[in-house]
Amino acid sequence: MNHALTLDDVAGLARARLSPPVWDFVAGGAGDERTLAANRDVFDRVWLRPRVLTGAGRPGLGTRVLEADWAAPIGVAPLAYHTMAHPEGEAATARAAGERGLPLVVSTFAGTAFEQIAAVTAAPLWLQVYCFRDRATTRAVVERAERAGFAALVLTADTPHLGRRLRDVRNGFVLPPGVAPANLAPGDYASPAAHGRDELDPDLDWSVIGWLRSITALPVLVKGVLTGEDARLAVQAGAAGVIVSNHGGRQLDGVPPTLRVLPEVVQAVAGRGPVLLDGGVRRGTDVLVALALGADAVLLGRPVLHGLAIGGAAGVGRVLDILVEELTDAMTLTGTGSVKDAGPALVREQW
């Protein structure tokens, strides 16, 4: 594990550890996986403009999001069933993130009880909310997370139903034995595709933000925003922030890579709350580019499950350490002293 020097190294090791259908469930995207590929390719089309002799010295990576301290502008994206990758699941992830002062967004479909997750980290925990047709189910999940000490809700808005993930269709993917949601009532969750088709509420509109705010005191962020128009509506509806995300290319194939739409979302939100980005972040320079184009922080998805697969909490720790070290390197070598110093002058499109 210690010879893994990049997140791609970790992915390579993880692939050998996971069964092919689980690997495909994690790695795959919707349709032809055009959006999945673009999320990464877009970072290759941007170059950094380093400033020299700035006197910036060793950079400070710390930042504040929703009045909480993060040791770096990097959090863990909501991912269903960490227990698919390692038996200790979200508890292992939370331990690794917590030891590093980094936040974790816990999925509605977490494989570990919220209370167990909260017990092992002092870093911020946010609950990702899937809104079910049965609002009582959603309400129970939200109340449980709030009681466990979670600090914010992240409403996933891009999933009126689960996208067409052809790898899973071809594999007839079902959850491995022993993997189930730990914070939902017992039920038949074996096929994410079937459950995601039948149980999620496809009729949601912006009033759901008001409803969530009526059942909890927690701030609500909206995840899955890809246009300036929706970013504006999110803030108007009472959202505390937005997450620019195409669900890691797993929902509609053909929507743009997140980095491309980040500037229009940042402009629309206009400082009225944090703007986070996920999708394809695999290197410290990717983080720095996202910050330069206006993100307050990024969330990391699949690499976290890769880390779990290769070594539980230690594996996730390795993934987070690599990204933090790479970001430190990139900030040092561009003369960027702090997160807030990263601005548009730092990047240039490929020419």
Ligand X SMILES: CCCCC(=O)C(=O)O
Ligand Y SMILES: Cc1cc2nc3c(=O)[nH]c(=O)nc-3n(C[C@H](O)[C@H](O)[C@H](O)COP(=O)(O)O)c2cc1C
Residues assigned a catalytic role: 247
Q: Would you count residue 245 as binding ligand Y (CB under 6 A)?
A: yes
Q: Would you count residue 195 as binding ligand X (CB under 6 A)?
A: yes
- Residue ranges in 161-220 that form contacts with ligand Y under rule CB under 6 A: none
Work out how close the CB of 73 gets to ligand Y at its nearest, in angstroms, rounded to a whole number.
15
Single out the residue of 156, 183, 285, 334 in contact with ligand Y (rule: CB under 6 A): 156
Among the listed ranges 87-95, 229-237, 295-303, 328-336, the one in contact with ligand Y (CB under 6 A) is 295-303
- Binding partner of 192, given ligand X, ligand Y, none, CB within 5-8 angstroms per partner class: ligand X
Total residues interacting with ligand Y, rule: CB under 6 A:
23
Work out how close the CB of 268 gets to ligand Y at its nearest, in angstroms, rounded to a whole number.
20
Q: Which CB atom, from 84 or from 347, has the smaller least distance to ligand X?
A: 84
Among the listed ranges 9-17, 183-191, 244-252, 268-276, the one in contact with ligand Y (CB under 6 A) is 244-252
Q: Would you count residue 302 as binding ligand Y (CB under 6 A)?
A: yes
3-state SS of 30-66 is CCCCHHHHHHHHHHHCEEECCCCCCCCCCCECCEEEC
Q: Which CB atom, from 218 or from 300, has the smaller least distance to ligand Y?
A: 300
- Residue ranges in 62-101 that form contacts with ligand X under rule CB under 6 A: 80
Single out the residue of 196, 241, 249, 274 in contact with ligand X (rule: CB under 6 A): 196
Q: Which CB atom, from 84 or from 290, has the smaller least distance to ligand X?
A: 84
Q: Would you count residue 29 as binding ligand Y (CB under 6 A)?
A: no
- Interface contacts to ligand Y, rule CB under 6 A: 25-26, 39, 77-80, 107, 109, 128, 156, 223, 245, 247-248, 250, 278-281, 300-302
